[in-house]
Structure 1
Amino acid sequence: MKRGIVFLVVALTLVLPLALQAQCSICTKTAMQLGEGPAKGLNGGILYLMSAPLAIMGVIGFRWWKREKQVSQ
């Protein structure tokens, strides 16, 4: 049961950001003026740059959770 929930959360985490618009209003307006291709590239670049800090926070959170789990046992 736990593995299924973990798999579902990981799958949704990997799939959902692909559909998100990660641009501020100014970037969106500029990208719309440039056309569809550059807008997709700009959005992909923003999502790529966001992935490193999110991965670091995930590793820190996971290690914290494991440590707390070991301490409570």
Structure 2
Amino acid sequence: MKQKILFLLVSLLAFMQTNAQCAMCRAVLESEEGQSTAEGINDGIMFLMAIPYIIVGTIGYFIYRTYSKSRKP
């Protein structure tokens, strides 16, 4: 249990602030007046972020369903 707590504390305290946007993307997004490109990039990021959660949730649901069926008498 101590190892888990230590790992959690190190994970929360020892993170590095990063800037994930490349220099070219930043220049285009900052120079545009209408901000439509920025909105498009943000939508793309949200789409890419949602897909792994959907996949993991689906796999978890099927594992749960299989496990609960096998436990019924």
TM-score, L = length of structure 1: 0.50
TM-score, L = length of structure 2: 0.50
**Larger helix share, 1 or 2:** 1
Larger radius of gyration: 2
Per chain length, whose mean CA-contact separation is higher, i.e. which structure has more relative contact order (CA < 8 Å, sep 6+)?
A: 1
